[in-house]
Chain A
Amino acid sequence: MIAAVRENRPFNAREIAFAILIACLALVPLLAKAGAESYIIDLVMRMMIFAIAALSLDLILGFGAMVSFGHAAFIGIGAYAVGILSSHGVEEFSLQLIAALVASALFALVTGALSLRTKGVYFIMITLAFSQMIFFFAVSLSAYGGDDGLTLPGRSRLLGAPLFASNSGMYYAVLVALIGCFLLLRAVVASRFGRVLRGAKENAVRMEAIGFSAFRYQLAAYVISGMMASLAGALLANQTGFVSPAYMSWQRSGELLAMTIFGGVGTLAGPIFGALAFLLLEEWLAGVTQHWKMIFGPILVLVVLFARGGVMGVAARLTGARHG
């Protein structure tokens, strides 16, 4: 309960940290001019896109205790919506996004309703099963590149304007999307809906007893989360100019989980910091040695063993914040 109260205060340490982070991110394109500009912008853009995906996963993971091991499927749906439509000449991003959101909402509605019949590990595995189905479906789409994937003819246009064509234009679009998703989820979590969701996480039976159908709330959260991840996918397709089934492999879902846990589940700023730290560490280690995974893997293990609550947990302890 204490955590819930803290969440509702107008500004807490996490949100101030988030605001500082956003300010830094907004300055990146300006600062990048001094260095390897396109490389830095591409990297940070990618980090922000994955931050959106990790944020979406955290809604169901941190606030609903639904461990989805198939969240990459939604990224894939978003990416393929862009890829398929633009290969047919539809380059308008708003139309592509609507297609991505509708497709992912439908997929989330059907698979979520089926998955929520199960609990715990069975839920983890059934979400994995559905994402594997989508993965293999994409592999068999030979008209759209099948296993090899699909190269986009160009970046999408936003309301007819070539906003995404310039790297910094696309960068700021992604930044706005990230801020929007954060604010949306912040409102969702603090709302009555969010309280029921968190209540169902603590004790679903009790929520039922006081008259809330936990299933409906969990399903709604699952759908919102899936749609947000597909937004990340639609942006990712534009950023890389390429779509392939690898976007939805189970390793990708594992990475998303790792980013979210790395940052700290159940805090909205956590997954964002998690995704940024995760990809930055990956990029840095990859520059140090070809065998960077031999260093990266043990770091993940050490984080679990010695830094409970991930980046946010450590930050809270360093700043002496009291735990709920």
Chain B
Amino acid sequence: MSLTLFLVQSLNGLQFGVLLFLIAAGLTLVFGVMDFINLAHGVQYMVGAYLAAWFTAMTGNFFFGLMLALPTALLFGLALEALVFRHLYGRDHLDQVLATFGIILFLNEAVKVAWGAAPLSVPIPDALSGSVRLMDGLLYPVWRLVVIGSGFAVAVLLAVLVSRTRIGMLVRAGAANAPMVSALGVDIGRLFMIVFGFGAMLAGFAGAMVAPILSVEPGMGDNLLILTFVVIVIGGIGSIRGAFAAALLVGLVDTLGRSFGPQLLRMMLDPSAASQTGRALAPMLIYILMAAILFFRPAGLFPAQR
């Protein structure tokens, strides 16, 4: 286990964690403020990736593509909210699960109809392609560093927004006790609409940023959605701070577990048994982590104050 490899994998884990955070942030606020289970959050990430791919191909420039994709993702989120979600507040969680499950089916198929079933690829912008030498023998792709950097920038922006602005105060209050905020005369429906639209845009942003390194394809949000739920449950529902910590934790544990788990096991078991167990354990690792955390802290690491 060389140090360089460890650092590279840690950066990969960090990048994955940042991606999870971008998706989890919107989801946890929606969850915390409106007690709304939105399984369709993952397809909003997919839609963001498709929009970025589409606008990039149209304009020939990734940054123009991104600039067009973000407001479109926002509008798309608001349209979903007005059409479907608005009518489901205060309904049973089960109703929300069924309705948002229906939206997943629809959108996964709709992108197939619109853009075909084959994966789309988005070129990395020329200026940011290539690798940079971080230290001796450690080359790392610039674009992945950009993803990490923009994720941290969004995290800081969100932290300021949530802890320093009036709307952030209302969101925090809504996450802690929505009926009370509503009783104090705040239009909680409008607050939710803003949070929801913003969350959809963040998920879309995440999709757009990873479009150049992952393939853009139908269903790309499905597995990520589950990981995102893992993140917000570990972090504590409604807590941005919790989502951030949990996203980085899950990203690092997953990536490092997959790359170094088998090697660690080899110290204890014989090689074939080690690689066999390692392959079995690595994907389970984050679920084991989640079960363990919920066992000791049933409301997550940083539960919102209630």
Q: Which residues of A are interface residues toward B (Cβ below 8 A)?
A: 61, 67, 114, 117-122, 124-126, 128-130, 132-133, 136-137, 139-142, 250-251, 254, 257-258, 261-262, 265, 291-294, 296-301, 303-305, 308
Cβ–Cβ < 8 Å partners of A136 in chain B: 280, 283-284, 287
Partner pick for B226 among A117, A250, A291, A305, CB 8 A cutoff = A250
> When the two chains form their complex, are residues B102 and A300 in contact, meaning their CB atoms are under 8 A apart?
yes
> When the two chains form their complex, are residues B105 and A293 in contact, meaning their CB atoms are under 8 A apart?
yes
Cβ–Cβ < 8 Å partners of B104 in chain A: 297
> When the two chains form their complex, are residues A251 and B222 in contact, meaning their CB atoms are under 8 A apart?
yes
Minimum Cβ distance to chain B for residue A311 (Å): 12
Taking A292-B109, A300-B102 as known contacts, 19 extra A-B pairs with beta carbons closer than 8 A to each other, sorted by chain A number, are A61-B94, A67-B93, A117-B294, A118-B298, A119-B298, A120-B93, A121-B31, A124-B37, A128-B229, A132-B226, A132-B287, A133-B287, A136-B283, A140-B276, A140-B283, A293-B105, A297-B102, A297-B105, A304-B95
Q: Considering the chains assembled together, what is the distance between the CA atoms of A262 and B98 in angstroms?
A: 8
Interface SS of chain B: helix
Looking at A124, A132, A250, which has the most chain B CB atoms within 10 Å of its CB? A132
> When the two chains form their complex, are residues A294 and B99 in contact, meaning their CB atoms are under 8 A apart?
no
> When the two chains form their complex, are residues B39 and A118 in contact, meaning their CB atoms are under 8 A apart?
no
Q: Considering the chains assembled together, what is the distance between the CA atoms of A50 and B190 in angstroms?
A: 41
Q: Considering the chains assembled together, what is the distance between the CA atoms of A300 and B99 in angstroms?
A: 6
Q: Considering the chains assembled together, what is the distance between the CA atoms of A124 and B95 in angstroms?
A: 14
Q: Considering the chains assembled together, what is the distance between the CA atoms of A284 and B98 in angstroms?
A: 20
Q: Is B134 an interface residue (CB 8 A)?
A: no
Q: Is B306 an interface residue (CB 8 A)?
A: no
With both beta carbons as reference points, the residue of chain A lying nearest to B31 in the complex is identified as A121
> When the two chains form their complex, are residues A301 and B103 in contact, meaning their CB atoms are under 8 A apart?
yes
With both beta carbons as reference points, the residue of chain A lying nearest to B97 in the complex is identified as A257
Minimum Cβ distance to chain A for residue B207 (Å): 20
Partner pick for B295 among A114, A125, A139, A301, CB 8 A cutoff = A114
Minimum Cβ distance to chain A for residue B179 (Å): 16
> When the two chains form their complex, are residues A293 and B280 in contact, meaning their CB atoms are under 8 A apart?
no
Say yes or no: A293-B97 contact (C-beta < 8 A), given A114-B291, A118-B298, A122-B298. no
Q: Considering the chains assembled together, what is the distance between the CA atoms of A276 and B283 in angstroms?
A: 34
Q: Is B110 an interface residue (CB 8 A)?
A: yes
Q: Considering the chains assembled together, what is the distance between the CA atoms of A308 and B93 in angstroms?
A: 13
Number of A-B contacts (CB under 8 A): 130
With both beta carbons as reference points, the residue of chain B lying nearest to A305 in the complex is identified as B87
Cβ–Cβ < 8 Å partners of B108 in chain A: 293
> When the two chains form their complex, are residues A291 and B112 in contact, meaning their CB atoms are under 8 A apart?
yes
Minimum Cβ distance to chain B for residue A285 (Å): 11
Cβ–Cβ < 8 Å partners of A254 in chain B: 39, 97, 101
> When the two chains form their complex, are residues A140 and B279 in contact, meaning their CB atoms are under 8 A apart?
yes
Q: Is B145 an interface residue (CB 8 A)?
A: no
Q: Is B158 an interface residue (CB 8 A)?
A: no
Interface SS of chain A: helix
Q: Is B299 an interface residue (CB 8 A)?
A: yes
Cβ–Cβ < 8 Å partners of A137 in chain B: 280, 284
Q: Mark B291-305, 1 if CB is under 8 A from A, else 0.
A: 100110011100000
Say yes or no: A300-B95 contact (C-beta < 8 A), given A121-B31, A121-B233, A125-B229. no
Minimum Cβ distance to chain A for residue B53 (Å): 20
Q: Considering the chains assembled together, what is the distance between the CA atoms of A130 and B294 in angstroms?
A: 12
- Interchain residue pairs with CB less than 8 A apart (14): A117-B295, A122-B300, A125-B230, A128-B226, A130-B287, A133-B288, A133-B291, A136-B280, A140-B283, A254-B97, A292-B109, A297-B102, A298-B106, A304-B95
Q: Considering the chains assembled together, what is the distance between the CA atoms of A251 and B93 in angstroms?
A: 17
Minimum Cβ distance to chain B for residue A67 (Å): 7
Cβ–Cβ < 8 Å partners of B290 in chain A: 125-126, 129
Partner pick for A297 among B91, B106, B298, CB 8 A cutoff = B106
Q: Considering the chains assembled together, what is the distance between the CA atoms of A298 and B110 in angstroms?
A: 12
Q: Considering the chains assembled together, what is the distance between the CA atoms of A254 and B103 in angstroms?
A: 13
Minimum Cβ distance to chain A for residue B23 (Å): 15
Q: Considering the chains assembled together, what is the distance between the CA atoms of A132 and B254 in angstroms?
A: 14
> When the two chains form their complex, are residues B94 and A67 in contact, meaning their CB atoms are under 8 A apart?
yes
Say yes or no: A121-B93 contact (C-beta < 8 A), given A126-B291, A261-B98, A291-B113. yes
Cβ–Cβ < 8 Å partners of B99 in chain A: 300-301, 304-305
Cβ–Cβ < 8 Å partners of A124 in chain B: 37, 93
Q: Considering the chains assembled together, what is the distance between the CA atoms of A292 and B84 in angstroms?
A: 20
Cβ–Cβ < 8 Å partners of B188 in chain A: none
Cβ–Cβ < 8 Å partners of B299 in chain A: 122
Q: Considering the chains assembled together, what is the distance between the CA atoms of A128 and B287 in angstroms?
A: 9
Minimum Cβ distance to chain A for residue B50 (Å): 15
With both beta carbons as reference points, the residue of chain B lying nearest to A126 in the complex is identified as B294
Minimum Cβ distance to chain B for residue A298 (Å): 6
Q: Is B202 an interface residue (CB 8 A)?
A: no
Q: Is B245 an interface residue (CB 8 A)?
A: no
Within 8 A of A (CB), among B245-302: 276, 279-280, 283-284, 287-288, 290-291, 294-295, 298-300
Cβ–Cβ < 8 Å partners of B95 in chain A: 261, 304, 308
Q: Is B120 an interface residue (CB 8 A)?
A: no
Cβ–Cβ < 8 Å partners of B107 in chain A: 297
Q: Considering the chains assembled together, what is the distance between the CA atoms of A120 and B300 in angstroms?
A: 13
Q: Is B162 an interface residue (CB 8 A)?
A: no
Partner pick for A304 among B39, B98, B226, B276, CB 8 A cutoff = B98
